[in-house]
């Protein structure tokens, strides 16, 4: 598994280290949620009804703002604390990771909390990764794909930044990156290696024309159950999210 973002890989390695110690991880999370006074629907730590009525659409963000800022300050004092980074991801805006120029985590609070979905995603992560042998790499995708000698019938899944959407982790991703990726995928295909690529063909009126044309050589699957769309629900109608496969 590979990502250029070293924090992302550190988090995966950290979470994975708890695959056989799930109970311990859930206990640690609960303790910190209580310590900081964050809400957690899954744990029954709910927000007062009054606040819910007053801030119908933003009550999680309103309630958790101060506690989240304290957590963020503490994390920025000691960035080796990956439990704190994971909690920032859970409670932060759009479940993302963002650092400023001075290296401090700087996303604002999100309108979310530790709910059933988050808990289930963690459980699934632990059970899925428990019995797998995973190598974590922190490389640019070009180096990663070149370095591994994939064999015929190996399978490569790719979820790169989407060129035409303006998400935090898509910043810095250029047409050149897209071109290099598609070229490498053509190469994998020529070697009999299976791939699946997640992407968006259309977003808010923009069309990724090059990708659309390239995808005609392969199979394009639509109507996906998408996390991306659920995080960006204002874009549901004009986003065409796809999975492109060569099998």
Ligand X SMILES: C[S@@+](CC[C@H](N)C(=O)[O-])C[C@H]1O[C@@H](n2cnc3c(N)ncnc32)[C@H](O)[C@@H]1O
Question: Which residues form the interface with ligand X (CB under 6 A)?
Answer: 3-5, 8, 140-141, 159-161, 169, 173, 177
11 vs 3: CA distance, rounded Å: 11
Q: Nearest approach, Cβ of 125 to ligand X (angstroms)?
A: 10
Q: Nearest approach, Cβ of 109 to ligand X (angstroms)?
A: 20
The DSSP line for 181-216 is HHHHHHHHHHTT-EEEEEEEEEETTEE-HHHHHHHT
For residues 139 and 220, which CB has a smaller minimum distance to ligand X in the complex? 139
Q: Nearest approach, Cβ of 4 to ligand X (angstroms)?
A: 4
Q: Nearest approach, Cβ of 99 to ligand X (angstroms)?
A: 12
For residues 111 and 138, which CB has a smaller minimum distance to ligand X in the complex? 138
CB atoms within 10 A of CB 223: 8
61 vs 63: CA distance, rounded Å: 6
227 vs 137: CA distance, rounded Å: 24
For residues 73 and 168, which CB has a smaller minimum distance to ligand X in the complex? 168
Q: How many residues does the chain have?
A: 247
Token pair of 182 as six digits? 């598609």
For residues 66 and 142, which CB has a smaller minimum distance to ligand X in the complex? 142
């Amino acid at each position: 598994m590979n990502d250029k973002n070293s924090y992302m890989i550190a988090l995966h390695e950290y979470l994975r280290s708890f695959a056989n110690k799930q109970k311990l991880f859930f206990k640690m999370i609960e303790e910190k949620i209580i310590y900081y006074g964050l809400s957690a629907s899954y744990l029954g730590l709910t927000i007062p009804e009054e606040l819910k009525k007053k801030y119908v659409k933003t009550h999680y963000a309103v309630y958790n703002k101060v506690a989240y800022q304290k957590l963020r300050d503490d994390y920025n004092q000691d960035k080796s604390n990956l439990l704190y980074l994971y909690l920032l991801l859970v409670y932060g805006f759009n479940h993302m990771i963002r650092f400023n120029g001075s290296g401090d985590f700087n996303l604002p609070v999100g309108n979310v909390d530790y709910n059933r979905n988050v808990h289930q995603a963690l459980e699934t992560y632990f059970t899925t990764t428990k019995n797998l042998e995973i190598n974590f790499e922190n490389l640019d995708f070009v180096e990663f794909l070149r370095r591994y000698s994939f064999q015929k019938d190996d399978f490569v899944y790719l979820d790169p930044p989407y060129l035409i959407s303006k998400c935090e982790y898509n910043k810095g991703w250029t047409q050149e990156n897209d071109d290099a990726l598609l070229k490498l995928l053509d190469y994998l295909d020529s070697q009999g290696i299976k791939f699946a690529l997640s992407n968006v063909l259309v977003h808010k009126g923009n069309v990724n024309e090059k990708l659309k044309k390239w995808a005609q050589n392969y199979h394009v699957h639509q109507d996906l159950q998408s996390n991306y769309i659920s995080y960006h629900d204002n874009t549901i109608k004009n986003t065409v999210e796809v999975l492109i496969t060569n099998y």
